């Protein structure tokens, strides 16, 4: 009988200690879960922003190639449907960049927001020069005009720098 009572007392004390520790640790567990969710949301936003920026860059390059081919008469003027498709795709990617940028502004940190702002600026600079043609009026599919190549490189570097900052704030 004493053994049964002793075992019951030990079980009750252990249960009480377990419940007390669980209650004390619950806020820490909830806080850790909240921080993990915030990091995951930030990582998803950064990934979406990078994907949209890369698509926007590619559509600007495609628009440049089409424009240069049209300038030398390699493409008929009636091929406007393809150009319109690339332009629409560019503006969709640009709108996605704006959406993700807004979400990043809302959630921070400021260093990440500033780097995203740089990516958007570099994308705009590429968009401004997307209709530049080759020197001498020729068409070289393998090489972009120097001003376009420089702007595209700046976009690439800005995306890489954004990704480095994003990794720091999402790991």
Average pLDDT over every residue of 21-34: 70
- 43-71+79-170 is classed CATH 1.20.120: yes
pTM of the predicted model as reported, rounded to 2 decimal places: 0.80
Rounded to whole angstroms, how far apart are CA atoms 132 and 138?
A: 12
pLDDT at 22 over 80: no
Average pLDDT over every residue of 142-157: 91
pLDDT at 46 over 80: yes
CA 26 from chain centre, in angstroms, equals 33
pLDDT at 1 over 60: no
56 and 97 Cβ atoms separated by less than 8 Å: yes
Least confident of 73-77, 96-100, 112-116, 141-145: 73-77
pLDDT computed for residue 141 by the predictor = 66
**What is the percent of the chain with per-residue pLDDT over 90, rounded to a whole number?**
48
pLDDT computed for residue 72 by the predictor = 77
pLDDT at 137 over 70: no
pLDDT computed for residue 66 by the predictor = 86
Rounded to whole angstroms, how far apart are CA atoms 169 and 171?
A: 6
Least confident of 19-33, 57-71, 107-121: 19-33
pLDDT computed for residue 37 by the predictor = 87
pLDDT computed for residue 149 by the predictor = 92
Return the domain boundaries, the chain: 43-71+79-170
Q: What DSSP string describes 90-147? A: HHHHHHHHHHHHHHHHHH--HHHHHHHHHHHHHHHHHHHTTT---GGG---TTS--HH
The H-or-E segment that residue 30 falls in is: helix 2-71
Name the band, by pLDDT with cuts 50, 70 and 90, for residue 82.
Answer: confident
């Amino acid at each position: 009988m004493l053994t049964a009572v002793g075992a019951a007392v030990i079980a009750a004390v252990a249960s009480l200690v377990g419940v007390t520790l669980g209650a004390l640790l619950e806020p820490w567990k909830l806080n850790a879960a909240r921080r993990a969710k915030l990091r995951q949301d930030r990582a998803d936003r950064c990934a979406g922003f990078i994907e949209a920026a890369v698509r926007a860059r590619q559509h600007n390059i495609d628009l440049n190639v089409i424009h240069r081919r049209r300038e030398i008469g390699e493409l008929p003027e009636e091929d406007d449907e393809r150009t319109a498709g690339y332009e629409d795709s560019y503006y969709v990617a640009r709108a996605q960049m704006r959406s993700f940028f807004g979400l990043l502004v809302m959630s921070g940190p400021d260093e990440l927001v500033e780097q995203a702002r740089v990516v958007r600026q570099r994308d705009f600079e590429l968009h401004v020069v997307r209709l530049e043609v080759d020197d001498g009026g020729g068409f070289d599919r393998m090489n972009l005009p120097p001003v376009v190549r420089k702007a595209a490189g700046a976009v690439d570097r800005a995306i890489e720098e954004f990704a480095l900052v994003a990794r720091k704030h999402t790991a």
